[in-house]
């Protein structure tokens, strides 16, 4: 874990520097300029997340420990097979973790912070939300501990996975030809961040895009349909506290006003935007409305 912390400290200035250089370049080359307030919000989100990292609490920690104590194998990272198993299994479980982060409101509350920027740029990559430990989303990677990977190894691999995704948060990198069939690219990730009904809930991969193709969630970027970024209901504040906390407050209010246990459950674990009258803002409902226009 110490080595991971050192790597983080080494790479953080490079990531922040790259986003800053991109911002300076875009501010000079685009008529609309660059939203520096949005950039500052992402930096503030990163700073807050690092401060909260010192809180020794995670819903997933005891579950990870139990799974590793009952591991089925002990793969070696000194072999090609062990490294390949680590990579493929992480990609597989990351896909389902990421998909649930969009389709289950409990997990979306934290992940929505990452999708809150109304512009798509490198700074958006490190706006990840503060309450991931509370939501317990990393439980999705528990099967990797059962396969015999130490929790610190899993978290290190996840860190590298997210590091790869930094460069794909760019709207100026074109499609990459045959790589689009295998890798998660800037084009695929632009679709993932778009709020257009046609693009919602698509392209959940980390490094690879193959699981999206296998499970039917791949959507290609279309030249005739420019991506519109941000949440379905666009965020209008630059306050990182509000951006992080308001989704949870909204859910709590909905649960408090629920008329049954079933409604309360759906408000918490149903799709984001669910309403009992079927007139909410779920992906299915938004697509149905778009088809009628």
> Per-residue pLDDT tens for 265-287?
999 999 999 999 998 999 999 99
- Rounded (10°) angle between helices 61-69 and 151-164: 120
CA distance readout (Å), 9 to 4, 47, 49: 9, 13, 14
Q: Tell me the CB-side half-sphere exposure of residue 217, using CA atoms within 13 A.
A: 23
Structure tokens at 242: 């509000």
CA distance linking residue 174 with residue 18, whole number of Å: 18
- Say what the pTM is: 0.94
Q: Are 187 and 172 in contact (CB under 8 A)?
A: no
CA distance readout (Å), 97 to 30, 100, 223: 36, 5, 29
> Per-residue pLDDT tens for 45-100?
999 998 887 777 677 778 888 999 999 988 889 899 999 999 999 999 999 999 99
How many CB atoms within 10 Å of residue 154? Answer: 24
Residue 253 exposed, middle or buried by CB count within 10 Å (0-12, 13-18, 19+): exposed
CA of residue 126 relative to chain centroid, distance:
10
pLDDT given for residue 1 in this prediction:
58
Q: What is the DSSP letter of 264?
A: H
- Least confident window among 185-189, 222-226, 236-240, 289-293: 289-293
Q: Are 94 and 158 in contact (CB under 8 A)?
A: yes
Which candidate, 178, 175, 198, places its Cα nearest to that of 189? 175
> Per-residue pLDDT tens for 68-78?
999 998 888 98
Q: Are 131 and 82 in contact (CB under 8 A)?
A: no
> Per-residue pLDDT tens for 208-242?
999 999 999 999 999 999 999 999 999 999 999 99
Residue 4, pLDDT above cutoff 70: no
Structure tokens at 261: 């246990």
β-bridge partners, 208: 183
For the chain, the structural domain boundaries read 2-169
Structure tokens at 195: 């709020």
Share of the chain above pLDDT 90, in %: 81
Containing H/E element for 65?
helix 61-69
CA of residue 110 relative to chain centroid, distance:
9
Structure tokens at 274: 């669910």
Average pLDDT over residues 183-187: 98
Structure tokens at 220: 């290609």
């Amino acid at each position: 874990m110490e080595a991971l912390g050192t790597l983080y400290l080494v790479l953080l200035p490079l990531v922040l520097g790259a986003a800053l250089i991109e911002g300076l370049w875009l501010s000079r080359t685009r008529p609309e300029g660059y939203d520096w307030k949005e950039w500052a919000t992402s930096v503030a989100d990163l700073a807050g997340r690092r401060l909260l990292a010192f809180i020794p609490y995670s819903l997933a920690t005891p579950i990870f420990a139990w799974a590793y104590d009952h591991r089925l194998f002990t793969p070696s990272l000194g072999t090609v097979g062990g490294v390949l198993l680590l990579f493929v299994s992480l990609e597989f479980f990351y896909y389902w973790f990421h998909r649930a982060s969009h389709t289950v409101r409990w997990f979306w509350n934290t992940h929505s912070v990452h999708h809150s920027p109304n512009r798509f740029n490198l700074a958006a990559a490190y706006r990840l939300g503060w309450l991931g430990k509370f939501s317990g989303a990393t439980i999705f990677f528990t099967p990797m501990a059962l396969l015999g990977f130490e929790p610190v190894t899993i978290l290190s691999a996840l860190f590298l996975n997210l590091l790869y995704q930094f460069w794909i948060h760019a709207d100026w990198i074109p499609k990459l030809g045959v790589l689009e069939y295998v890798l998660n690219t800037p084009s695929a990730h632009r679709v993932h961040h778009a709020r257009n009904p046609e693009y919602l809930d698509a392209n959940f991969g980390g490094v690879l895009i193959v699981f999206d193709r296998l499970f039917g969630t791949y959507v290609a970027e279309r030249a005739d349909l420019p991506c519109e970024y941000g949440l379905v209901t666009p965020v209008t504040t630059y306050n990182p506290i509000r951006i992080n906390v308001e989704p949870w407050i909204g859910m709590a209010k909905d649960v408090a006003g629920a008329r049954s246990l079933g409604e309360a459950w759906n408000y918490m674990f149903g799709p984001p935007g669910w309403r009992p009258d079927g007139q909410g803002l779920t992906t299915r409902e938004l697509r149905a409305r778009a088809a009628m226009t």
